[in-house]
Amino acid sequence: MTWTLAAGLLLLLASPALLRRRYDQQWLMRPVSWLALTAVGYQGVSEVVIRLTDADQLVAYRPSRAAVDNGMVVAGLALLALTIGYLVAHPPAPVEVDVDTGDLARALDWRIFAVLTVPLVLTTASGRGYSSGQPLDTQGAIDAGGLGSQFFVPMVILTAFAYLLRHPRQYAFVLVAQSIGLAVAGQRLEVLVAAAALTALAMRVGLRPGRRQLVVTVAVALAAVVAINSVRTTAGREVFQSDSGFAARFDALREGLTNPTATSDLGPGALAEAALRLDSASWTGAVYEALHEPGVKPAGAHLIRGAVLTSVPSVLFPSKTTVLTELDRSPEAATIVALRMERVDYLPGHLTLFYGALGLWGLLLFNLLVGMALGLLERAALRRASPVAIVGLLTLLQSALFYERGIDYYLLAGRSFFVLAVLVYVLGAVVGYRAGPRAQDPGRLGPTGSPRRPTPAVRRPSVRPRS
């Protein structure tokens, strides 16, 4: 390990450490904390594993290790700039978690969400929904496939969260059902994202999972990932992208879970493959290498304009697919062409997607502004535990955890927020929901998931001044 690589790791780790210190036990309910943790995984931990296993020798092209080391320093500075901007806009005030979960459960009726979510799961199982392979910027079509692509993940999480509000003792059951529903799509990352998002939402309303629940969360998510990986190894992606049906997909997942060693490599080779799968450091290193070539300048801020226009729904921008070129819709592709980089499948991530467009100082300023914007949005989402605020918090969590989709994914996820916000607002208005503080703290979840009784306050005698 070089000194430059060590400095990059320290810079990356500084942000989650700072957030943990400032927000204490409430730091994991904040989306930016999850963004910082995922950035450390994609930009730092993956590179360390690649170095230890020499996995960079397994790919056809990768920038030099010196360039990757310097790129990691750039990513660490970018994350630190985002964190500073976030802390400026979102001071470390504790969030009130004394929420009346009964009223919130009436507003977020899990039965209604289940009725709306089941068709999305069945559509995905038919190969026309979330796992159909459509580009993200074209997944806004008003049909079964488009709705499944856009609302599948948030609706599954909202259904699980709504059920957990009504049945807090059944945390493990909720997590297993959520993981099975998402595993039908054959996507591993979505299972992990949903488990983290459900945990953060539960913490927001005072249902803080204990250590046993957190262990169950990790175990169930990893089991689903192993099952999906086993199915992909034996049958490929076709089983998840064809009209195989829910029963066939469930049987394939069950077989992959019960017999994983026969269908997948669980040794060092799998660790190296996972590190390459999460490798965002190579993108930053490749951009750093390209920008230091003679005569090469940043591509320009117009790449941000293309990303913003791409997020506009097709209903409001019908000619989007004809007006916007492929380079307009993909900042990554535009950067590769402008900087004459090697054309391979990179994984830019949130922090350094626009590094090639803005250069180092422009990137730091951009991330500082993004951090401030996320801080303001998060303040609004955490101010009250209303149904609309819960949807907003889920949108921010989902956007932060899908790190590999780039910072412009916040705009794409925002489209589904408005639709879901209107839905939960109407449902809340029907039942007469009003957000307000709860007189009794729900406390920490016990071993079975039931809230513990709060410790009664000690009544102190009043002291009168002597006359």
Between the CA atoms of 163, 169, 171 and 174, what dihedral angle is there, to the nearest 10 degrees?
-40
* Average pLDDT estimate for 59-85: 93
What's the rounded Cα separation, in Å, for the pair 369 and 336?
A: 25
In a domain, 24, yes or no: no
In a domain, 313, yes or no: no
In a domain, 434, yes or no: no
Tens of pLDDT along 22-35?
988 889 899 999 99
The lowest-confidence range among 108-117, 344-353, 438-447 is 438-447
Domain that holds residue 243: 101-267
- Which tokens go with 51? 């170095």
Query: Average model confidence (pLDDT) for the chain?
Result: 80
Q: How buried is residue 41: exposed, middle or buried, by Cβ count under 10 Å (0-12/13-18/19+)?
A: middle
In a domain, 433, yes or no: no
In a domain, 370, yes or no: no
Q: What DSSP assignment string belongs to 292-346?
A: TSTT-----THHHHHHHHHTS-TTT-TTHHHHS-HHHH-HHHHHHHHTT---S--
Which amino acid, one-letter code, is at 453?
A: R
| Cross-strand pairs, 437 | 99
Cα 274 from chain centre: 18
Q: What DSSP assignment string belongs to 63-119?
A: --HHHHHHHHHHHHHHHHHHHHHHHHHS--PPPP--B-HHHHHHHS-HHHHHHHHHH
Tens of pLDDT along 207-233?
877 777 778 777 877 777 677 666 666
Does the model's pTM come out above 0.75?
yes
In a domain, 219, yes or no: yes
In a domain, 391, yes or no: no
What's the rounded Cα separation, in Å, for the pair 378 and 30?
A: 8
Considering its fold, how many domains does the chain have in total?
A: 1
Residue 344: what pLDDT?
85
Res. 132: pLDDT tops 70: no
In a domain, 227, yes or no: yes
Q: How far is CA 36 from CA 30, 191, 243, 252, 302, in A?
A: 10, 19, 38, 35, 27
* Average pLDDT estimate for 338-362: 92
